[in-house]
Chain A
Amino acid sequence: DAKTTQPNSMESNEEEPVHLPCNHSTISGTDYIHWYRQLPSQGPEYVIHGLTSNVNNRMASLAIAEDRKSSTLILHRATLRDAAVYYCILRDPSGTYKYIFGTGTRLKVLA
C-alpha cells in the first residue's frame, strides 16, 4: 500500500504562512495526492488535490515535487479556524479508490 509520512504536529502564528510537508516515496504514476483536514468531532473536509502540477484554490496551495515523492500544503495566512489535523492521502493504487489515512499533522495556530 502506498503510504504517506507527515510530522505529528506543527505550530504557526496567526496570519503567517504555513507549510505542511508530506512524503510519499512509494507513490505510483497515476496516484493523485489528496489533502483533507479534520476539526474535532467532525468528518474530514476536502482541501485540495493534485497529480503533477502545483494547484491553487481558495483554501490553499499544493506544491508537488518534480519526482512526486513529496508534496507541501501551503496555507497562505493561517487563522485560528485552520487549527486541525491535516491528512495527506494517496488513493489506493489497487484500483479500489479507497483512501489510506496516516496519522496526519496536528496544526496549532497561535494567536
Chain B
Amino acid sequence: GAVVSQHPSRVICKSGTSVKIECRSLDFQATTMFWYRQFPKQSLMLMATSNEGSKATYEQGVEKDKFLINHASLTLSTLTVTSAHPEDSSFYICSARRQGLYTDTQYFGPGTRLTVL
C-alpha cells in the first residue's frame, strides 16, 4: 500500500518560535500534497494544496505568511509554522495524491501534534 510519513510526530515549542513539519511519500511520487489541520473533536480542515515546483494554493482564511509550504521534490513537502502562538496548537496532517491508470487517491500521514506554550 501507499505509505506517507510525517516528522516529527509530536512537537512542543515556545511561543514565537518556528516549527517545521515534514511530509514524505515513501513508495510513490506525489506531484500534489495537501496539508490539513484538525482541532479536538472536529473534522479535518484543508489548509493548502502543495504542488511540486510551484507555489502552494491556500484555502480562504489561512495565512500564507504564517504557514509556509515548500514542495521541493516529488516525495517531500514541508509546512513551517512561523512565530507560533498557543492558538496554533493543533493536529497537523498531510496527504499525498497518488495517481495511476485506475486510481487517483490521497494517502494520509500519521499526523503531527503541535503544542505551543
Grouping DSSP codes into helix (H, G, I), strand (E, B) and loop, the A interface class, with mixed when no group exceeds half, is loop
- The verdict on B27 contacting chain A, using a C-beta distance below 8 Å, is no
CA gap between A100 and B43 in the complex, in Å:
10
Contact A46 to B107, CB < 8 A, known contacts A41-B91, A96-B49, A98-B49: yes
Q: What is the number of residues of chain B that contact chain A, defined by CB distance less than 8 Å?
A: 26
Query: Are A44 and B108 touching (Cβ within 8 A)?
Result: yes
A residues less than 8 Å from B106 (CB atoms) = 34, 46, 97, 99
Name the B residues within 8 Å of A17 (CB-CB).
none
Contact among A32, A45, A46, A100 for B104, CB-based, below 8 A = A32
* Cβ of A84 to closest chain B Cβ, rounded Å: 13
Contact digits for B94-117, partner A, Cβ 8 Å, 1 yes 0 no: 010100000011111111010000
Q: B-side interface residues toward A, CB under 8 Å? A: 1-2, 4, 6, 32, 34, 36, 43-46, 49, 57, 91, 93, 95, 97, 104-111, 113
Bound CA–CA A81/B103 (angstroms): 27
A45 to B107, CA, bound (A): 7
User: For the complex, is A68 an interface residue (Cβ under 8 Å from B)?
Assistant: no
* Chain A residues with CB below 8 A from B2, complex form: 46
Residues of B within 8 A of A45 (CB): 108
Q: Which of A21-29, A71-79, A101-109 contacts B (4 or more CB under 8 A)?
A: A101-109
Residues facing B in A10-33 (CB within 8 A) are 32
